[in-house]
Structure 1
Amino acid sequence: MGLVKLKNIKVYAYHGCLVEEKKIGSDYRVDLKVKADLTTSAETDKLADTVDYVHLNFIVKEEMAIRSKLLEHVAERILVRILKEIPMVEKATIDVSKINPPIGGNVELVTITRTKKR
């Protein structure tokens, strides 16, 4: 077994329930961890035998570009696509964080975490 982690993927997106969030957008941070059997790729040194982190990043960027009211919703879409498009992934965990959320206080970020497995 093994893990592939993408940390601190920075995205500008338009998620949220407030009208202002639809118009001006916010900075987001995405952290992703996927579990897969990396034994073959460790032996063969072939990209085709592993989880391509470029593909993972592409999925995150595409799904973050689609507006959602809730972070849970965008996180679920990302996890569903990962499991659908990358069959060797057995489990994926994602943190989606809104940086400086408009919640009337001094809050650095708010994060939701979701996990999905086969």
Structure 2
Amino acid sequence: MDGPLPLALIAASLAFTLVALAYVALDRTPDWGLLGFAGVIELGTLVLLVVAAFQVGDVSIPGAGEITLFGYLVAGLVLLPIGFAWSLAERSRGATAVLMVAGLAQAFVVVRTLQVWPA
């Protein structure tokens, strides 16, 4: 998987983590701006999933590497929405910190996707 998309996703996820850290430090609850930022990351992850599906090709029986790859990409698609659902349901500083963890986990998921990418 070549190109700037995975690196842009990693950078955006880490930036999201820093913004969520600022929200925690200022004791703010998530707002539409943070939700929009997460939406851009989600869209990028969805594009990465589609690109990976086309680049892996049509293999009739996927191997363990491809299953792991798509498992990470699907996990990346659900991390931020689950974090937002949690933080909007609870409305506390700790629940906003969940977004920080979700953003960091999103970055690690993309890094791990690059590591298991079939050569």
Shorter-chain TM-score bucket reads: 0.3 to 0.5
Greater helix proportion: 2
TM-score (normalised: structure 2): 0.35
Asked which structure has the greater RCO (Cα within 8 Å, sep 6+), the reply is 2
TM-score (normalised: structure 1): 0.35
Greater strand proportion: 1
